[in-house]
Amino acid sequence: MIVLDEQLLGRELETQIARWYQGAICFITDLRPNTVIKDDAIPRLLRQENQPTFVTINESDFWRKIAITDQFCVVCFALSDSRAREIPQRLRILFDNPLFDTKQKRMGKVVRVAEKEVSYYSVEDRTIRQVE
Task: Give 112-128 pLDDT, tens digit per residue.
Answer: 999 899 999 999 999 99
pLDDT digits (tens, 9 = 90+) for 67-98: 889 999 999 999 999 999 999 999 999 999 99
User: What is the reported pLDDT for 36?
Assistant: 87
Q: How many domains does the chain have?
A: 1
Region of poorest pLDDT, from 20-29, 35-44, 48-57: 35-44
Indicate whether 16 pLDDT > 90: yes
Q: How big, in percent rounded to 5, are the helix, strand and coil portions of the chain? A: 35, 20, 45
Q: How far is the first Cα of the chain from the last one, in angstroms, to the nearest whole number?
A: 26
d(C-alpha 54, C-alpha 75), whole Å: 6
User: What is the reported pLDDT for 96?
Assistant: 96
Quickly count: other Cβ atoms within 10 Å of residue 29's Cβ.
17
Indicate whether 132 pLDDT > 80: no
Domain that holds residue 7: 2-130
Contacts of the segment 103-107: beta carbons below 8 A, 24+ positions apart: 103/51, 103/53, 103/73, 104/51, 106/51, 106/53, 106/73, 107/51, 107/70, 107/71, 107/72, 107/73
